[in-house]
Amino acid sequence: MLVETPALHENETNPWLSAEARFNRAADLLGVEDGMRKVLKSPAREICVNIPVLLDDGRIEVFTGYRVQHSIARGPAKGGIRFAPDVTLDEVRALASWMTWKCAVVNIPFGGGKGGVICNPAVLSQAELERITRRYTAEILDYIGPERDVPAPDMNTNEQTMAWIMDTYSMHVRHTTTAVVTGKPLNLGGSRGRPEATGRGCMIVTQQALRRFGLEPSNTRVVIQGFGNVGGMAAKLMSRAGFKIVCIIEYDGAVYNPRGLDIPALMKHRDETGSITGFAEAEDMDRNEAMFLECEVLLPAARENVITSANADRLRCKILCEGANGPTTHVADSILQDKKVFVIPDILANAGGVTVSYFEWVQDRQGFFWNEQLVNGRLEEIMVNSFRDVTAYGDKHEVNNRIAAYMLALDRVQFAIRLRGIYA
């Protein structure tokens, strides 16, 4: 029998509208007046560049790139650059505003930014990607810098991309400036602990949430969607900390073991076969059903818009830890609230990454590098304090964690704007 999928609400998956809906709710509850609301909402700067690039076969192609600086009220803009064929200005805007709120939630001295280049990395050579990266960097050069805007990797960009941006910027300003980007290779000013930071942050906030439910890791079943940087690291660290990772979901299938998966063995199997499926110590299961398994923690760490009005009422988790950016649509928020799911919102749950990026920027500017223990200890302190700040704010104002996180962030950013005043 064919089961009909319920239709999504109009524009439900537009990230800018999701960001706006949550912003409006938080601003209403805070009583933010109209003028300040406009300032908080409007991106401070939106840069669009059309960059000509010579392809390997001698043709010239023009690629469009964006850099949006949503806010610089609390410090330089901070946020990744993504390369993808379907990048839109709306998406980059939404992601830039999320970065503003995320940095404010964890109280690090950055604003929010995001960038993107419309291109298909799957059909481009390394040399073409390098030329796109360098020309894009040259076009936005006047707007980035350690004190202005500090990019980082995002979808389809990586340590190598950051090394090219750092080098291009340094060639123009005529001295090596490692602090212009984060997420760099370790021997070019990168930070220890950065690859694990987002997954580690997810684990720390989940450990905090367990206390509210009187749960121990050993009786906590975890389902993770996405086995990449965030999901893979979270799985590895959480299984090491005693959590029972019962299911991993990837784009090509899911694997399930009610007694808990052996994560290092599953990683080895994936590396050898190219897929998590067919793992001897687990059963394969339908990836579309796996998210609805009964569990204590569901950790979506793959992509946006996976929990919508069409499926939110089927979730059977106590805690939803949003490792990905925007995995839940704003329409699904109220369904989860009615089901009393304890949501650790993305702007808190996955903020471990930007927190260690902040540490990287600090270390680059100091020219003095920390050991991994120091990085992890400082990350833990920030994540624990931020979890407490958000949940205390939620308890005080009787709102859910997502709205509490937005209110806390808006309040911190508006406070900075008031102190600075409106320059004329």
Nearer to ligand NAD, 356 or 399 (CB): 356
Q: Which of 276, 315, 324, 410 binds ligand NAD (CB under 6 A)?
A: 324
In the complex with ligand NAD, the residue whose CB is nearer, 87 or 301, is: 301
Q: Which is nearer to ligand NAD, 65 or 153 (CB)?
A: 153
Stretch of 85-93, 138-146, 168-176, 223-231 contacting ligand NAD, by CB under 6 A? 223-231
Interface with ligand NAD includes 229 (CB under 6 A)? yes
Which helix or strand (DSSP H or E) is residue 37 part of? helix 34-41
What distances in angstroms separate CA 96 from CA 70, 77, 91, 384, 405, one per listed residue?
5, 9, 9, 24, 16
Which of positions 159-198 make contact with ligand NAD (CB under 6 A)? 198
**Residue 256: CB minimum distance to ligand NAD, A:** 14
Catalytic residue annotation: 114
Q: Cα(236)–Cα(215) distance, rounded to whole angstroms?
A: 20
> What's the distance, CA 288 to chain centroid?
23
Q: Which amino acid is at 241?
A: A
Q: Is 226 in the site for ligand NAD (CB under 6 A)?
A: yes
Q: Which of 100, 168, 207, 325 binds ligand NAD (CB under 6 A)?
A: 325
Q: Which of residues 27 and 246 has its CB atom nearest to ligand NAD in the complex? A: 246
Contact 248, 255 (CB under 8 A): yes
Query: At closest approach, how far in Å is the CB of 250 from ligand NAD?
Result: 5
Q: Are 66 and 75 in contact (CB under 8 A)?
A: no
DSSP E strand boundaries for 44-127:
45-54, 60-71, 77-84, 112-118
x/- map, 326-355, ligand NAD, by CB under 6 A: ------------------------x--x--
Shortest Å distance, C-beta 192 to ligand NAD: 15
Give the three-state DSSP class for 65. strand
Q: Which residues, numbered 237-276, are part of the site for ligand NAD (CB under 6 A)?
A: 249-251
- The answer to whether residue 91 forms part of the interface with ligand NAD (CB under 6 A) is no
Compare residues 36 and 89 and give the one whose CB is closer to ligand NAD. Answer: 89
Query: Which lies closer to ligand NAD via its Cβ, residue 51 or residue 204?
Result: 204
| 386 is a contact residue toward ligand NAD (CB under 6 A) | no
383 is a contact residue toward ligand NAD (CB under 6 A):
no
Burial status of residue 208 (CB atoms within 10 A of its CB: 0-12, 13-18, 19 or more): middle
- Residue 377: φ, ψ to 5°: -65, -45
* Dist. CA 260–CA 48, nearest whole Å: 48
Report in angstroms how near the CB of residue 77 gets to ligand NAD at its nearest: 16
By CB under 6 A, name the one of 66, 83, 101, 227 that touches ligand NAD: 227
What kind and span of H or E run contains 319?
A: strand 316-321
Strands 294-300 and 221-225: parallel
Considering only residues 300 to 319 of the shown chain, the ones binding ligand NAD according to CB under 6 A are 301-304
Segment interacting with ligand NAD, rule: CB under 6 A, options 172-180, 220-228, 331-339, 400-408: 220-228
In 196-300 the beta strands, taken as DSSP E runs, fall at: 221-225, 244-250, 253-256, 283-285, 294-300
Q: Which is nearer to ligand NAD, 135 or 195 (by Cβ)?
A: 195
Backbone angles phi, psi at 204, to 5 degrees: -65, -45
Q: Which of 114, 76, 108 is nearest to 95 (CA)?
A: 114
The footprint of ligand NAD (CB under 6 A) covers 198, 225-231, 249-251, 301-304, 323-325, 350, 353
